Structure 1
Amino acid sequence: MLFALILFLAATLRLWRLDSVPPGFTHDEAGHGHDAVAILHGARPIYERVGYGREPLYDYLVAGLMVLLGPTGHTLRFSPVPLGLVTLLATFVWARLAFDRPTALAATALQAASFWSLSTSRQALRSGLLPALFTTAVYFYWRSAYGPTRASASTSRHRPSRRQMGLFALLIGATLYTYIPARVLWLVFPAFLVYLALLHRETFRRVWLPALVAVLGGLLLATPLFAYLQAHPEAELRLAMLDAPLQALMAGDVSVILNRAWSGLAGFLIPGRGDDFLAYTIPGRPVFDPLTGALFLAGVGLCLARWREPAYAFALIWFLVGISPSLVTGSTASTTRSIAALPVVFLFPALAVVAGARWAARWGSQAAWAVGLGFVGLTAVTGAISARDYFVTWGESPDVRAAYQHTLVEIAGYLDARPEGDLVALSTVYPHAPHDPYVLEMSLRRRDLALRWFDGRQALLIPPSFPPTGDAPPS
């Protein structure tokens, strides 16, 4: 009942004003919409070469939604909402299995109330698919290895389920067709097997072979993607843009990657040091406020203290591997690049709160209830602050309107309202695909206009008739 309420409130917050916040589309979002429409028309990409290159699975998912809801910008904007809810569901079922129900409820509630989760669940980007797939993969791995009910991993004698390991393998393969960080994310499972081999040998002997086969099977599913990238190295420009710290490290300079790692870690706790990418967050906003940040640190400390228990060790491994992209690239776009760690990040405060409530129970049930009610209040305040920051501070910012090409959205509304169906010329700073033309494609409902794009700073417009009936808006 409590989980259903959390999911309902989360869905309400993620659907509210979805038609106006964000106030348009970024070029990356519009590119996903354009490629999804192309899939509807017969394209079958194994890798998208638009922009800096990207994996195609999210585009196929959006195309499937467009079959049901129509090939519109509204469908594109809606597409991340169910992914965010699936992430919450997967977080709950895994945390309940690996820890307990109170921890699962607390982790899911805080995640649902967070600005990070709210923002991600409204971004039409492939990154939002990754935590949904990976957390579900974690659940199937845990259930296969340790059974359908909570049990100590060190004593469980449950025989791994082939069906669930198969689903686990399928999901690992799917993550590799989703977003670049998945290329290191699968290492969570071999690292955990090493941990089991060192500390829980009986469990290791029982699970290592099916787990390893499943991971290798998932990697094998991605063979066509990697074969394509091997044959077309020029298609993947983004990696070349992000590997400077690694190149410096290989050259013997550790200072660059140490500075980036500190920047990425500081973004969790220190105001002004958070992700500064305006399109998807409030620049400098940390993941946690001081109080939830203290709970986060306490939860990490608890996991370190209980590292001999498999669930706690797994959470630490997941966190470190999940944030590793931001440890290389720094805080810029860290909430996107570290998105695979989102579910486990909010597990740590939940572990601290539940441990605190159990400690308080020594003084009677009323003390434990006081801790629980205090956390409910904290979560409610967190949700209210997240909503204010997202819908008001961020959503009404002129800079955000510019980043989401709101001018083009307004022009699309104007053109949809015009009765004429004729030639329309538009001047923008980015008149070439995959930029402003894709944004207008996702914003414009009608399809009977002949659109011509140009940059008025470098072109002379000669209309075919006078007076001209086209539009040349400022960009």
Structure 2
Amino acid sequence: MQLNKILLIVVLVLALFLRIWRLDDVPAGFYSDEASIGYDAFSILHTGRDFHGNSWPLFFESIGEWKDPIYIYASVPGIALFGLNEFATRLPAALSGLLTVLALFLVARELFSEELALLASAFLAVSPWALQFSRVAFEAAVLPALFLFALWFFLMGLRDPRLWIAASALFALCLYSYGTGRLFVPLFLVALLLIFRVELIAAKKQLVIPAVIFLLLSLPLIITVLFSPEVMFSRMNRISIFALGHSPFEFLDNYVQYLSAEFLFYRGDANLRHSPPGYGQLLWFSAPLLLAGIAACLLSFDKRSKLLFAWLILFPVTAALTFEGSPHAIRSIVGIGLFELFAVAGAAWLFDLTRRLAGHRIAIMSGFLFLLLAGANAFIFTGDYFSKYPAQSSVWFESGLGDAFKFVGQRQGEYDYVVLTPRLDKAWIYAAFYLGIEPELVQKGDYGKIIQCNPSSCDLRGRLLLLERISEPEHISQSGQNVLLLTVKNAAGRDAFKLEEKTGLCNPCLQDQLS
């Protein structure tokens, strides 16, 4: 219908606006993982190597861990167009978020109807879970879009098996988007094989090419696991419930948290980089729809319902295997889209029930009133997100540090050294990002005038520009004096960083290494 096309465009425009508007300053600041991803893409763009000097890597050596490649490579075009900045680095997340909304529409249309698909995509457009990871440059941001498009091609392949080729390629790409996908996708594929075994057996000849494509695309990952296991497991070995001092029985305690009302509707993830405070992963208006949808799917328990329940059972598995920060919104990111599908199933069931009990007119009026309440809930959330969240999360995103480095960029020519104090965690990657240091130098560990050390003790002579946190003690040696040049406030309006000039000689000591 023409009206449905217009409504879909409206939903997509809304989704795009919420994901692009003020992308560079909401969330306010820039996390070190974002700066690392952006600088890696910048380094690849100009040298074909990451900032560690590895040529066109499959996995990127980062700050104490390894990062998946898809987001980093996807950042290269934006950085080529817009330069090395927050907007360009976050742009792949915003576009992936938009594509996730579109992909959910396509999946929901296959499972339900075009009208319910529009409703599901509208719910996802304003979802706190989906919106948050459409506005931060985290590698996991591309996983929901890849997974949903893969699922859509699979569902369409039940009518035209040739489309399973695209599905298998996209499922394989999920393995290179974020660690969660490497366990979730194989488990989900097993679930699909069991649920749709009759259709798959009937079309077994058409499965050969998709299976070969999936295996071929997975082969580099398998080789990495076999010959460089530290790339795959260095991070997991530190946060797994199988690590020293933790019990495998923690899995059950962790698992149930991801299905709790507290995580989904009240509190979300306690890490303010992952969730805005005062909101769960979903808006409260979807709670009754979600319960109704689960009930409706239990009553029908057709293949569509089995697919949704398999997804519901599997999405927390990888996250529940870790003890750090549970419940963790990123490690459970494959849940994005699932609850909107249950919600529209519930909406359809409640509408039909109301229509049979009270008549069509009452059902229409009830649905309209509920949409008004949902719209009000979404309006309040998005208002809070853009007005309150930047200040609330300012410390979590090192708000103000970018402004401090911009001052450094303007004044560093006047100084012999720029000293970053030890409490500026991972400050060297911020320096590389904001100062645009040439990748060839960074790959050699050369940051020019940038030094990270304790300014009261490192062996530096000449005129120093100090960048430090406001909370750090004064660094005044017997042979020099500090002059305050600038105090930088964060998005909450609090003094966060300061820049000082120090002249004279510092007492000798061994200089800390940047990397």
TM bucket, shorter chain = 0.7 to 0.9
Residues 208 and 359 (structure 1), Cα distance of their counterparts in 2 relative to 1, 3 Å cut: farther
SS of 1:117's equivalent in the other structure is helix
Deviation digits for residues 98-126 of structure 1 (CA, Å, limit 9, x no counterpart): 21112211111111111111111001011
Deviation digits for residues 396-454 of structure 1 (CA, Å, limit 9, x no counterpart): 12xx222222232111232344494764513233568xx22222333346879944121
Letter in 2 for 1:188: F
Given that residues 88 and 108 in structure 1 are in contact (C-alpha distance below 8 angstroms), is that contact kept between their aligned partners in structure 2?
A: yes
SS of 2:118's equivalent in the other structure is helix
Residue 429 of structure 1 corresponds to which residue in structure 2? Answer: 422
Residue 39 of structure 1 corresponds to which residue in structure 2? Answer: 44
More strand by share: 2
Residue 155 of structure 1 corresponds to which residue in structure 2? Answer: none
Given that residues 113 and 383 in structure 1 are in contact (C-alpha distance below 8 angstroms), is that contact kept between their aligned partners in structure 2?
A: yes
Alignment of 1:356 onto 2:360: no
Deviation digits for residues 245-265 of structure 1 (CA, Å, limit 9, x no counterpart): 59999xxx6642221112222
Residue 175 of structure 1 corresponds to which residue in structure 2? Answer: 174
Residue 504 of structure 2 corresponds to which residue in structure 1? Answer: none
Given that residues 128 and 279 in structure 2 are in contact (C-alpha distance below 8 angstroms), is that contact kept between their aligned partners in structure 1?
A: no
What are the within-5 Å matches in structure 2 for residues 50-69 of structure 1?
50-51=62-63, 52-69=65-82
Whole-Å separation in 1 of the counterparts to 2:13 and 2:78: 21
Stretch of structure 1 that moved more, 99-108 or 386-395 = 386-395
Letter in 1 for 2:219: T
Runs of 4+ aligned residues of structure 1 deviating over 4 Å after TM superposition are 245-249, 416-424, 445-449
Counterpart pick for 1:462 among 450, 460, 463: 460
Residues 459 and 102 (structure 1), Cα distance of their counterparts in 2 relative to 1, 3 Å cut: farther
For residue 366 of structure 1, report the CA deviation from its aligned partner: 2.3
Residue 440 of structure 1 corresponds to which residue in structure 2? Answer: 431
Letter in 1 for 2:269: D
Residue 224 of structure 1 corresponds to which residue in structure 2? Answer: 220
Residue 160 of structure 1 corresponds to which residue in structure 2? Answer: 161
Letter in 2 for 1:10: A
SS of 1:473's equivalent in the other structure is strand
Alignment of 1:369 onto 2:364: yes
Whole-Å separation in 1 of the counterparts to 2:249 and 2:413: 61
Residue 107 of structure 1 corresponds to which residue in structure 2? Answer: 120
Whole-Å separation in 2 of the counterparts to 1:333 and 1:422: 46
SS of 2:451's equivalent in the other structure is strand
Given that residues 110 and 156 in structure 2 are in contact (C-alpha distance below 8 angstroms), is that contact kept between their aligned partners in structure 1?
A: yes
Alignment of 1:394 onto 2:389: yes
Whole-Å separation in 1 of the counterparts to 2:455 and 2:208: 58
Counterpart pick for 1:123 among 129, 133, 136: 136
Residues 84 and 244 (structure 1), Cα distance of their counterparts in 2 relative to 1, 3 Å cut: same
Given that residues 29 and 125 in structure 1 are in contact (C-alpha distance below 8 angstroms), is that contact kept between their aligned partners in structure 2?
A: yes
Give the number of equivalent residue pairs. Answer: 445
More helix by share: 1
Residue 256 of structure 2 corresponds to which residue in structure 1? Answer: 262
Residue 481 of structure 2 corresponds to which residue in structure 1? Answer: none
Residue 149 of structure 1 corresponds to which residue in structure 2? Answer: none
Counterpart pick for 2:105 among 92, 102, 107: 92
For residue 296 of structure 1, report the CA deviation from its aligned partner: 1.4
For residue 85 of structure 1, report the CA deviation from its aligned partner: 0.2
Larger radius of gyration: 2
Stretch of structure 1 that moved more, 316-325 or 90-99 = 316-325
Whole-Å separation in 1 of the counterparts to 2:22 and 2:293: 34
SS of 1:17's equivalent in the other structure is coil
Given that residues 180 and 319 in structure 2 are in contact (C-alpha distance below 8 angstroms), is that contact kept between their aligned partners in structure 1?
A: no
Given that residues 427 and 473 in structure 1 are in contact (C-alpha distance below 8 angstroms), is that contact kept between their aligned partners in structure 2?
A: yes
Whole-Å separation in 2 of the counterparts to 1:472 and 1:173: 44
SS of 1:374's equivalent in the other structure is helix
Letter in 2 for 1:129: V
Residue 323 of structure 1 corresponds to which residue in structure 2? Answer: 316
Counterpart pick for 1:244 among 241, 245, 255: 241
Whole-Å separation in 2 of the counterparts to 1:42 and 1:215: 32
Q: Where does structure 1 lack aligned partners over 5 or more consecutive residues?
A: 147-158
Residue 154 of structure 1 corresponds to which residue in structure 2? Answer: none
Residues 424 and 86 (structure 1), Cα distance of their counterparts in 2 relative to 1, 3 Å cut: farther
Whole-Å separation in 2 of the counterparts to 1:247 and 1:353: 46
Given that residues 285 and 374 in structure 2 are in contact (C-alpha distance below 8 angstroms), is that contact kept between their aligned partners in structure 1?
A: no
RMSD of aligned Cα (Å): 2.8
By relative contact order (CA 8 Å, sep 6+), the higher-ranking structure is: 1
SS of 2:400's equivalent in the other structure is helix
Whole-Å separation in 2 of the counterparts to 1:77 and 1:143: 31
Whole-Å separation in 2 of the counterparts to 1:77 and 1:28: 11
Stretch of structure 1 that moved more, 132-141 or 40-49 = 40-49
TM-score (norm 2): 0.79
Given that residues 292 and 349 in structure 2 are in contact (C-alpha distance below 8 angstroms), is that contact kept between their aligned partners in structure 1?
A: no
Aligned identity (percent) is 25
SS of 2:467's equivalent in the other structure is coil
SS of 1:406's equivalent in the other structure is coil
Residue 452 of structure 1 corresponds to which residue in structure 2? Answer: 450
Stretch of structure 1 that moved more, 80-89 or 66-75 = 66-75
Residues 458 and 140 (structure 1), Cα distance of their counterparts in 2 relative to 1, 3 Å cut: farther
Deviation digits for residues 245-293 of structure 1 (CA, Å, limit 9, x no counterpart): 59999xxx66422211122222444634x31122221357422354422
Residues 102 and 296 (structure 1), Cα distance of their counterparts in 2 relative to 1, 3 Å cut: same
Whole-Å separation in 2 of the counterparts to 1:10 and 1:95: 17
What are the within-5 Å matches in structure 2 for residues 284-303 of structure 1?
285-303=279-297
Given that residues 72 and 445 in structure 1 are in contact (C-alpha distance below 8 angstroms), is that contact kept between their aligned partners in structure 2?
A: no
For residue 142 of structure 1, report the CA deviation from its aligned partner: 1.0
Whole-Å separation in 2 of the counterparts to 1:220 and 1:244: 31
For residue 470 of structure 1, report the CA deviation from its aligned partner: 2.1
Residue 145 of structure 2 corresponds to which residue in structure 1? Answer: 132
Deviation digits for residues 52-74 of structure 1 (CA, Å, limit 9, x no counterpart): 21211111111132233333332
Given that residues 175 and 181 in structure 2 are in contact (C-alpha distance below 8 angstroms), is that contact kept between their aligned partners in structure 1?
A: yes
For residue 129 of structure 1, report the CA deviation from its aligned partner: 0.3
Residues 208 and 414 (structure 1), Cα distance of their counterparts in 2 relative to 1, 3 Å cut: same
